[in-house]
Amino acid sequence: MARFVWYLTKRILSYIVMIFVATSLTFFLASAFMSPRSNYEQRTPRPPQDSIEQSLYKANLNDKTPVIERYQKWLVGVVTHFDWGMAPDGSSINTQMSSKFLASVQLLTLATILSIFIGVGLGVYTAQRQYQWQDRFFSGVASLFMVIPTVVLAILIVFAAIEINALTGSRIFYVTGLSSGNFPTFFEWLLDFLQHIFLPTPVLTIVSSVGYHLTQRTYLLDEMHADYVRTARAKGLTRKQAIRRHALRASLIPTAVNVAFSIAGIFTGAVMTEKIFAIHGLGEYFINCINNNNIHGAVAVAAFSAACTLVGALLADLFAAALDPRIKMS
């Protein structure tokens, strides 16, 4: 137990250092390429120069202040108060991020869980039936969805939902947002929420599960033809027993790594889905930060993505150690 705690402590400390380095580099890069000053200078009518300087200084975005001084002030705020700074318009990054993060969690949690279980499950199912009709059918469907862009799939689903609503004369499907408003009870809110995520969830689930399906199928097929599986068969195990006890465990390790390192991309990569369904999550927010010269917002999203990636990496290490007794945590 002590060795496990020491291993966990070392990994967490190393991940904190990596997050610090990645976030700091992002701050300097964003400061070099983004120009919050232009947000004020392009306004009509143009604000007085003194007003521009004061607003930029208040938000710690004045390019006339040395970047190292701005970085030090920003870093002190993050470390001491978990304050990620201000946007060029003077609003708090913490306030902006909290609402976007909540929207992304509501949108992506169910889709992520479903895509992992469906994708990995189909990968295992088709690998055990290689070249049979089930394998050809599901692999063909997966290949089809691989070449269909996410935006096209989302638009088709929205179009079909709108047509069904028009034909029935009632609002069966909700195609925008995550909520219709405030509800007095939790169950009313939950019903409304499920109606709103009913359309975007299949889009995100299909897109993610296709990749998990094909990679898990490939990994399991490689392990099924390995020498240790043939040895297990020679000792009397049936094909299914050899796969379940040996090949499946080994094939899940690289899949777990793939899932872990895709977590950050899941949160920040659902930009088109968020746009089409009018859901204001982290993906849309990150794009808006770049377009609006929001240095502190872009850095906050980058830090969140780094944290997600490294937490996923830690979970992958733990999962791999649980599946493979040869891996020692020390």
Determine the average pLDDT of the residues in 258-286: 80
**267 falls within a domain:** yes
Contact 36, 65 (CB under 8 A): no
- Would you state the pLDDT for residue 284? 87
Q: What is the CATH number of the domain that holds 276?
A: 1.10.3720.10
Instruction: Using the 3D structure, point to which of 33, 50, 81 is the last residue of a domain.
Output: 81
Could you tell me if 47 and 126 lie in one domain? no
3-state SS, residue 86? strand
Could you tell me if 139 and 275 lie in one domain? yes
Determine the average pLDDT of the residues in 318-322: 75
State yes or no: pLDDT of 300 exceeds 90: yes
State yes or no: pLDDT of 251 exceeds 70: yes
Strand partners, 86: 92
**86 falls within a domain:** no
Could you tell me if 72 and 104 lie in one domain? no
Could you tell me if 170 and 313 lie in one domain? yes
Alpha-carbon distance of 226 to 232, in angstroms, equals 10
Contact 255, 246 (CB under 8 A): no
Determine the average pLDDT of the residues in 190-206: 88
State yes or no: pLDDT of 190 exceeds 80: yes
Determine the average pLDDT of the residues in 176-191: 81
**330 falls within a domain:** no
Structure tokens given for 108:
């992506």
Determine the average pLDDT of the residues in 218-245: 84
State yes or no: pLDDT of 268 exceeds 70: no
Could you tell me if 110 and 205 lie in one domain? yes
Strand partners, 92: 86
- Would you state the pLDDT for residue 80? 93
Contacts made by residues 108-113, CB under 8 angstroms, sequence distance 24+:
108/204, 108/266, 108/267, 108/270, 108/281, 110/197, 110/201, 111/197, 111/200, 111/201, 111/204, 111/205, 111/208, 112/204, 112/208, 112/263, 112/266
Could you tell me if 146 and 276 lie in one domain? yes
- Would you state the pLDDT for residue 84? 94
Sequence letter at residue 148: I
Could you tell me if 192 and 224 lie in one domain? yes
**310 falls within a domain:** yes
**109 falls within a domain:** yes
The pTM of the whole model exceeds 0.75: yes
**14 falls within a domain:** yes
Contact 320, 313 (CB under 8 A): no
Task: Kindly report the number of other CB atoms within 10 A of residue 320's CB atom.
Answer: 18
Alpha-carbon distance of 295 to 311, in angstroms, equals 24
- Among 175, 149, 177, smallest CA distance to 164 is for 175
- Among 178, 314, 188, smallest CA distance to 256 is for 314
Could you tell me if 132 and 179 lie in one domain? yes
Query: Total structural domains in the chain?
Result: 2
Could you tell me if 35 and 153 lie in one domain? no
DSSP character at residue 13:
H
Contact 36, 295 (CB under 8 A): yes
Q: pLDDT tens across 82-116, in order?
A: 999 999 988 999 999 998 888 888 888 888 889 99
State yes or no: pLDDT of 33 exceeds 90: yes
Determine the average pLDDT of the residues in 27-47: 91
Question: What count of Cα atoms within 13 Å lies in the side-chain half-sphere of residue 295?
Answer: 28
Instruction: Using the 3D structure, point to which of 81, 106, 125 is the last residue of a domain.
Output: 81
Determine the average pLDDT of the residues in 48-73: 92
Q: pLDDT tens across 120-133, in order?
A: 999 999 998 888 99
CB burial of 233-257 (b: ≥16 within 10 Å; e: otherwise) equals eeeebeeeebbeebbbebbbbbbbb
Structure tokens given for 60:
């710690």
Instruction: Using the 3D structure, point to which of 46, 81, 116 is the last residue of a domain.
Output: 81
State yes or no: pLDDT of 328 exceeds 70: no
- For the chain, the straight-line distance linking the first and the last C-alpha, in angstroms and rounded, comes to 10
Contact 279, 199 (CB under 8 A): no
Could you tell me if 161 and 291 lie in one domain? yes
**48 falls within a domain:** yes
**187 falls within a domain:** yes
| Percentage above 70 pLDDT, the chain | 96
Of the pLDDT bands very low, low, confident and very high (cuts 50, 70, 90), residue 10 is confident
H-helix or E-strand spanning residue 170: none
Determine the average pLDDT of the residues in 238-265: 80
State yes or no: pLDDT of 326 exceeds 70: no
Could you tell me if 12 and 109 lie in one domain? no
Alpha-carbon distance of 300 to 294, in angstroms, equals 10
Determine the average pLDDT of the residues in 213-223: 90
Could you tell me if 65 and 189 lie in one domain? no
Alpha-carbon distance of 88 to 59, in angstroms, equals 7
- Would you state the pLDDT for residue 232? 83
Domain span at 216: 93-323
Sequence letter at residue 290: I
DSSP character at residue 223:
H
